[in-house]
């Protein structure tokens, strides 16, 4: 007895489904407003609202006089890029590799159960791996995944596909929440990341939602001397801008 979805939302879902299934690839042409009027039996204003909102949300790019096109996934979210360190490294023109240090199926205890909103003892998958940029370690990923969300975790070869890419392949990310802190790593972490004694460590703690519930919880350790986390924020109401080149920041060293 759920409320019926508005027609414009059905239209949006219709397009999003075509995009996420791969039927429509980046730069592909999306049906025009008038085509949607005919094939989907809606008024042009309704089709207009659907496409306009998809544009505002970054799914598509619209050009007056030409049409509507699927936008490159990457440009849709700066923070999603951070999710996948392999892409980030590739974008810098470097070579990414990773090595699984440990993986097992466990029963969630304490803080993990709490963070994932599950009962103590629920099945989770635990993974510890190191990411390398040109063979230099840049991230220690300590991740717990809800088993019911990704039952075939144990069969994955995470030396080949990053956990982040694997998970977004199962279902799209809905929400991410993260805390950033600085700290001195313990000896184990220091060894994995090949860090000097006394070197600081940037720690990102992230919880990610999919299908309305938290599905994975990760602690990412980065060597303070080799890593930087950037973000870009435009408050509501500002003109939509393309991401701006960060000039000068990378030259700063205290």
Contact residues toward DNA (CB under 7 A) are: 3, 6-9, 30, 32-35, 41-46, 48, 51-52, 55, 62-68
179-183 LR contacts (CB < 8 Å, sep 24+):
179/204, 179/205, 179/206, 180/204, 180/205, 180/229, 181/205, 182/224
Residue placing its CB nearer to DNA in the complex, 4 or 249: 4
Residue placing its CB nearer to a copy of itself in the complex, 160 or 228: 228
Interaction between residue 18 and a copy of itself (CB under 8 A): no
CA angle 171, 72, 165 (to 5 degrees): 35
Q: What's the min distance (Å) between Cβ of 58 and DNA?
A: 14
Interaction between residue 171 and a copy of itself (CB under 8 A): no
Binding mask 79-98 for a copy of itself (x = CB under 8 A): xx------------------
CA–CA separation, 13 and 19 (whole Å):
10
Tell me the Ramachandran region of residue 27: left when phi exceeds 0, alpha when psi lies from -120 to 50, beta otherwise. Answer: left
DSSP class of residue 23? Answer: S
Interaction between residue 2 and a copy of itself (CB under 8 A): no
DSSP class of residue 66? Answer: T
Residue placing its CB nearer to DNA in the complex, 7 or 126: 7
Q: What's the min distance (Å) between Cβ of 108 and a copy of itself?
A: 11
Number of neighbours of residue 204 by Cβ within 10 angstroms:
18
Q: What's the min distance (Å) between Cβ of 226 and a copy of itself?
A: 10
Q: Which stretch binds a copy of itself (CB under 8 A): 28-36, 86-94, 100-108, 201-209?
A: 201-209
- For 220, phi then psi, to 5°, come to -115, 120
Interaction between residue 17 and a copy of itself (CB under 8 A): no
CA–CA separation, 151 and 174 (whole Å):
19
Number of neighbours of residue 96 by Cβ within 10 angstroms:
18
Let me know how long the chain is: 254
Interaction between residue 74 and a copy of itself (CB under 8 A): no
Interaction between residue 199 and a copy of itself (CB under 8 A): yes
Q: What's the min distance (Å) between Cβ of 49 and a copy of itself?
A: 9
Interaction between residue 3 and a copy of itself (CB under 8 A): no
State both tokens at 73.
């996934």
Interaction between residue 114 and a copy of itself (CB under 8 A): yes
* HSE value, Cβ hemisphere, 13 Å, CA-based, for 248: 0
Residues that bind a copy of itself (CB under 8 A): 12, 16, 56-59, 76-77, 79-80, 111, 114-115, 117, 172-186, 189, 198-203, 205, 207, 219, 222, 224-225, 227-239, 241, 244, 246-249, 251-252, 254
């Amino acid at each position: 007895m759920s409320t019926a979805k508005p027609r414009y939302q059905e239209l949006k879902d219709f397009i999003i489904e075509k995009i996420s299934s791969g039927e429509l690839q980046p730069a592909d042409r999306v049906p025009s407003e008038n085509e949607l009027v005919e094939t989907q039996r809606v008024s042009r204003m309704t089709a207009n609202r659907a496409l306009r909102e998809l544009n505002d949300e970054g799914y598509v790019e619209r050009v007056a006089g030409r049409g509507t096109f699927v936008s490159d996934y990457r440009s849709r979210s700066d923070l999603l890029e951070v999710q996948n360190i392999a892409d980030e490294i590739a974008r810098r023109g470097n070579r990414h590799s990773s090595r699984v240090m440990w993986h097992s199926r466990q029963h969630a205890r304490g803080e993990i159960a709490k963070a994932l909103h599950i009962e103590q003892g629920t099945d989770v998958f635990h993974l510890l791996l190191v990411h390398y940029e040109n063979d230099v370690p840049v991230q220690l990923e300590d991740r717990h995944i809800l088993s019911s969300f990704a039952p075939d975790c144990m069969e994955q070869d995470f030396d080949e596909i990053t956990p982040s890419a694997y998970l977004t392949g199962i279902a799209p990310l809905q929400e991410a929440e993260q805390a950033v802190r600085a700290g001195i790593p313990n000896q184990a972490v220091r060894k994995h990341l090949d860090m000097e004694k006394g070197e600081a460590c940037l720690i990102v703690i992230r919880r990610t939602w999919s299908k309305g519930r938290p599905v994975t919880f990760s602690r990412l350790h980065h060597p303070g001397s080799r890593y930087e986390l950037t973000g870009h924020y435009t408050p509501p109401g500002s003109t939509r801008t393309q991401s701006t080149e960060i000039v000068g920041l990378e030259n700063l060293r205290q």
